[in-house]
Structure 1
Amino acid sequence: MSAKPSRLSSSSEEDFHHLIDERKRKRMESNRESARRSRMKKQQRLDDLVNDIARLKSENGQLQMQIEVYVPQYMKFESENTILRTQVAELTERLQYLNSILRFMEEFSGMAMDIQEIPDPLLKPWQLPCPAQPITASANMFLI
């Protein structure tokens, strides 16, 4: 009878080793599958980033082309604006001179004259006394 328990124990040991080997095999398969999924996710993320780079480079190129179109227009408007500001300053100076002549005439003649105060156009240009004329613009006036 002593032979049977050793058989059982050796058979149990074999079963135990087989069970452990089966668990190791399943764990290794699971680890391989997990590593494969991880590599796939990493590759997908890399592909997404490469696509993002290509898309952003394309957008950047388009924006640079738009900037190249709009910079000359901006420079033109800036130049015109400088000219207009200079003209406003010159005309304001002339008007002040004419008002001083009118004040002198008013004082000298004793006759009351309606001399209006000249607003400073550089401080509040939106409050200049201008005729109410609509400003017309179209959506494509800045396009070339």
Structure 2
Amino acid sequence: MVLPSNLIVPNSTKGVSASTNPKTSSSGRVITQQSSGSEKDPNQIIDKRKHKRMIANRESARKPRLRKQQHLDELNTDADYFRAENNMLFTKLNIVSHNYMQLQEENSLLRSHAMDLSHKLQSLNIKMQWEGVMHGLDLTSSDGFVHPIPMDMKSWYL
């Protein structure tokens, strides 16, 4: 059988260009005919629709991945910020705790010193009262402390 020059006989249906119309011969072989620019191939239209849908699906899948990656980047940035702030707060807490401990030690020392001075004052008051009793003077006041002797009595007391 001799085929016209405008017919193409491929070995299989694969590799048929998108611009051809498949037809089968009496032997079952696919015969494709070159289509003119005005004819629309239904397979070509379906392939274009599939291709457009595939591109749209890829784009639709890409957008959520980009949003997810952007959200993850923002969360990582926030986490880095909060780690830095946490470290700064721990540093401040350590400084304040150290200062608090120093002030507690100083306060304890000052209280001890004040108590020592109070005991010395009580001891001196008791001693002065004894001296006054021995010399016939009452040097105590209503508050229980010994007050300074007036100037005119100092010369007599000494």
TM-score with structure 1 setting the length:
0.55
Q: CA-atom RMSD, angstroms?
A: 3.2
Partner of 2:22: none
1:122 is aligned to 142
Unaligned runs of 5+ in 2: 1-44, 153-158
Partner of 1:59: 103
SS of equivalent residue, structure 1 residue 2: helix
| Structure 2 equivalent of residue 138 of structure 1 | none
Identify the residue that residue 7 of structure 1 maps to in structure 2.
51
For the residues of structure 2 that align with 1:26 and 1:37, how far apart are their CA atoms? 17
In terms of fraction of residues, the more helix-rich structure is: 1
Q: For 1:77, which of 121, 125, 134 is the aligned residue?
A: 121
Question: In structure 2, how many angstroms separate the alpha carbons of the residues matched to 1:56 and 1:83?
Answer: 40
Residue aligning to 1:33: 77
Cα shift readout 1:73-113 (whole Å, capped 9, x = no counterpart): 1111133445667869x967xxxxxxxxxxxxxxxxxxxxx
Letter in 2 for 1:24: K
1:40-85 CA-to-partner distances (Å, cap 9, x unmatched) read: 1111111111111111112222222323332211111133445667
Partner SS, residue 142 of structure 2:
coil
Structure 1 unaligned segments of length 5 or more: list them. 93-120, 134-144
The structure with the largest strand share of the pair is 2
Which one-letter code corresponds to 2:65 in the other structure? Answer: D
How many residues align? The count is 101
Q: Distance in 1 between matches of 2:137 and 2:71?
A: 90
Task: Name the % identity.
Answer: 12
